[in-house]
Structure 1
Amino acid sequence: MGVPLRSGNVIKPSEMTRLTITTFAGVFLGFLIGVSFPTLSLTKINFPSSLFLSIDLTYIEDKHSGLSTRKLFSALSSLKDDKVVMVASNKSEKTKIWIPTNPRGAERLPPGIITSESDFYLHRLWGQPSEDLTIKPKYLVTFTVGYNQKSNIDAAVKKFSENFTIMLFHYDGLTTEWDEFEWSKRAIHVSVQKQTKWWYAKRFLHPDIAVPYDYIFIWDEDLGVENFDAEEYIKLVRRHGLEISQPGLDANSASLTWAMTRKRDNTEVHMDTEERPGWCSDQHLPPCASFVEIMATVFSRDAWRCVWHMIQNDLVHGWGLDFALRKCVEPSHEKIGVVDAQWIVHQGVPSLGNQGQPVGRKASWQGVRERCRKEWTMFQDRMTAAEKAYYEAVESNPF
């Protein structure tokens, strides 16, 4: 006597047919999808670079003699989208490295050895390098000087503490004569005759060299500093968040062209002024705000990185630059100001102007002044043209 089957375990012919049709339909549909789907490009897969650097290609080559390391790495390097490429085909070949994120010119170096920034710190020729510096100055001050102004510069330098690196740009070619001052032996001396401070600044104060310094002072040689203390000045600049600044000018200064730079009493700093009628179309723009002169300018590290790029190679006097400094900080009318509590006297000594004539001819300050005015016009024209071209490009390509 047979055992009756439960109705639930019996597969009816109609159900078997439906199952078979469904199975074949699924396989066919999967085939169509597989054929129509684009081929997966492994070059688009971005693996961490550390993954490839940790692979021992020599070991793989030993285990699979049919694959050369070069061929294997060629395939692996395509997977990492050219972020790091290292080739070690055999012991006789040097390792090659290509890292596009390295500074320009150093793409082939391993990142750990790259030093892209430098400084003006002095080092000994003996002993341990780690023991060279007893103190690392946090600020930089430069003066463009001639030896005739040695007394003035000596007085000025003594207003700056050991927290400052001192740098002298010599336009008269005299350098060793300054060794009569003890501080001169620790200073950095750059000597190129008959050049201006903006010529020196463009060529010797690249932002990657000045980067260790929180503030960079770029000063003339004819400044009276009896009422100035550099450390106190830095405190005020920090307190008021100034990125570009200058000390106030005493009323006894040789020339006071702008109301903005005149020292005020009973205030620490000021960032705007009332100029002559019609001189300011906008109270947030120069010369009523966002403005200091270029005789005793002080820049923060970030501001200098921008300003350096704006200095023109051929416009060496810097005329017009003071009106454009505002483009390097935002909001400029809050970040550019005059420090009243630490003030100076502009003596107006035209010593650099006396260098302005060819050898064998009588020196004339007038020729230098004419060149200054020409440069002012050229700078303004270049800035206007550059901004116009930029905004036209933005309008034509908004995305």
Structure 2
Amino acid sequence: MGIISRSAAGRKPNESMRLIVTTFIGVVFGFFVGVSFPTLSLTKLNIPSSLLPTVDLSYIEDKKSGISTQTILNAWSSTRSNNSSSTQSNDTSKIWVTSNPRGAERLAPGIIAAESDFYPRRLWGKPSEDLTIKPKYLVTFTVGYSQKKNIDAAVKKFSENFTILLFHYDGQTTEWDEFEWSKRAIHVSARKQTKWWYAKRFLHPDIVAPYDYIFIWDEDLGVEHFNAEEYIKLVRKHGLEISQPGLEPNKGLTWQMTKRRGDREVHKVTEEKPGWCTDPHLPPCAGFVEIMAPVFSRDAWRCVWYMIQNDLVHGWGLDFALRKCVEPAHEKIGVVDRQWIVHQSVPSLGNQGEVKDGKAPWHGVRERCRKEWTMFQSRMANAENAYFKSLGSNSTTH
């Protein structure tokens, strides 16, 4: 009995020590596992999807990286969804969609937002509830603050169906907040720039895609006899893709085509001075509006935007080339007589030029306008000739 007692007493300290050592090693091992686990990539763990509902991830959060538990759960949910619908790899580096816009080939088509808009958004609430109304039309004015009364009168002719966009060539923007509508308008400012400079840079077809019609107007237009909603109705009725309001006939006119006729709603052809029109279906007798107050359909503007040159900022020559963007031009380009305007011919932008050789600023501006007209015509002719030459044809367009 004594031997048995001594043997039991001799083993007890050894077993106690072994238990302590084992416990210590377990604690150390558990510590290191706990420290290293958050740095592991969960997406690389091959865990059967049937076990996922039993895994509690509520404690997994990398506070340093800002990745939340919800983000991880969403990633798991997305992975499970992809696995259930397809056996293909979900490695995003393997995405390449040639039909995507250039530069976006690596994106899944479902995430691409190829178009945008000018709709203002709130900084709070649900995005789906931001817009109480989506305007269907866009009107732009290139303005200086000295024309504020005229622009105020013009803007009031456009209903809430229109987004108002002001391009400021004099740098004054906040001053317009004296008008209530200005606080809802979009303001873009770049000093001493023209309407077509702005249009090329801020009215890309993918930006204005939500709008059925785009008005690109000067600041010196009298609109006493104009109603925008009625104008749209007439444009739709007569199938006009490019149009303008008729001009008051008692003011100085450059072209007979834009002169208002009192006996009709719309006209698409006119008679000019002898020799001015080589074809009754060609400008300036048809397929022609001026660049002071043009209105474009969405589809027509997509073509016209690409035709605007980056360095030819006055737009001279565009009016004769607009016909190339619609077919047949003599039927889809016209002047709306029932809704008419007055061109006041205020040389405000012209005065933004510089005095040179003792001449007023507008002289230099007008000289450049004429040069740009010649340059644009030359570029258009050269481009078309090069195109037909590449086809092995000597034919040209009229």
Give TM class, smaller chain: 0.7 to 0.9
Q: TM-score, normalised by structure 1?
A: 0.75
What is the one-letter code of the residue matched to 1:173?
G
Q: Which residue of 1 aligns with 2:178?
A: 180
What residue in structure 1 maps to residue 103 of structure 2? 105
SS of the residue corresponding to residue 140 of structure 2 reads strand
The one-letter code of the counterpart of 1:222 is D
In the other structure, the counterpart of 2:126 is: 128
1:286 aligns with 2:283: yes
TM-superposition CA deviations, 1:332-355 (whole Å, max 9, x none): 000000000000000000000011
CA shift digits 1:43-65 (9 cap, x unpaired) = xxxxxxxxxxxxxxx99xxxxxx
Residue type matched to 1:288 in 2? C
Pairing partner for 2:319 from 311, 319, 322:
322
Once residues 118 and 330 of structure 1 are traced to their aligned partners in structure 2, the CA distance between those partners, rounded to angstroms, is: 27
SS in 1 for 2:294: strand
Does residue 1:243 correspond to 2:241, yes or no?
Answer: yes
**Distance (whole Å) between structure 2 residues aligned to residue 396 and residue 162 of structure 1:** 51
Give the Å deviation of 1:96.
3.4
Q: What TM-score comes out, normalization by structure 2 length?
A: 0.75
Mapped partners of 2:249, 2:393: distance in 1:
51
Listed as ranges, the matches of 1:1-399 within 5 Å are: 87-88=89-90, 95-253=93-251, 255-357=252-354, 364-395=361-392
Q: Specify the alignment match of 1:75 in structure 2.
A: none
Contact conserved, 1:261 with 1:292, CA < 8 A, in 2?
Answer: yes
- Gap runs ≥5 in structure 1: 1-57, 60-85
8 Å contact kept, 2:209–2:298: yes
**Residue in 2 aligned with 1:66?**
none
Q: SS in structure 2 opposite 1:142?
A: strand
Give the aligned CA root-mean-square deviation in angstroms. Answer: 1.9
CA contact (8 A) 2:93 2:106 kept: no
Q: Is the 8 A contact 1:87 1:97 kept in 2?
A: no
Give distance in 2, aligned partners of 1:243 and 1:314.
Answer: 26
CA distance in structure 1 between the partners assigned to 2:247 and 2:208 by the alignment: 27
Identity %: 79
| Match of residue 5 from structure 1 | none
How many angstroms apart in 1 are the aligned matches of 2:92 and 2:108? 13
Query: What 5-or-longer segments of structure 2 have no aligned partner?
Result: 1-45, 48-87
Q: 1:126 aligns to what SS in structure 2?
A: coil
Shift of 1:356: 1.2
Name the structure 2 match of 1:28. none
| Residue aligned with 1:376, SS | helix
The CA deviation at 1:283 is 0.1
Could you tell me whether the CA contact under 8 Å between 2:140 and 2:165 is conserved in 1? yes
8 Å CA contact 2:243–2:296 kept in 1: the answer is: yes
